[in-house]
Amino acid sequence: MDFNQKIIFLDTVFIQEVDDEIIVLDTNTENYFGLNKIGSVIWQTIKEKQVLDEVYKTLLERYDADAEVLRADLENFVVKLLEGGLAKAEEL
């Protein structure tokens, strides 16, 4: 995955924060998803930074995690967002 791209959440996606978690509703499919605390942090960081490389660097600074594992986890998270129709990727 190219980390020099922007991840943008679609307008048809709504979120509700509940404690440290986020509930995501896709109004197109009427599917909803629950994100745990870590997933919620990743979601918020993507929303704030948008550029995947900046998201990665921010999370790497925030968490004491192996860089390769974090990169793979972030990539998997983004792939699920894209495949689920919750976000789109744009080239910079």
The residue length of the chain stands at 92
* Residue 21, in any domain of the structure: yes
* Residue 29, in any domain of the structure: yes
What is the reported pLDDT for 36? 93
| Burial of 89 (C-beta count, 10 Å sphere; 0-12/13-18/19+) | middle
Which CATH number is 72's domain given? 1.10.10
* Residue 91, in any domain of the structure: no
Range of the domain at 36: 5-85
| Burial of 66 (C-beta count, 10 Å sphere; 0-12/13-18/19+) | exposed
How many whole angstroms separate alpha carbon 60 and alpha carbon 91?
A: 22
Domain count, the chain: 1
How does pLDDT run across 36-90, given as a tens digit for each residue? 999 999 999 999 999 999 999 999 999 999 999 999 999 999 999 999 899 999 9
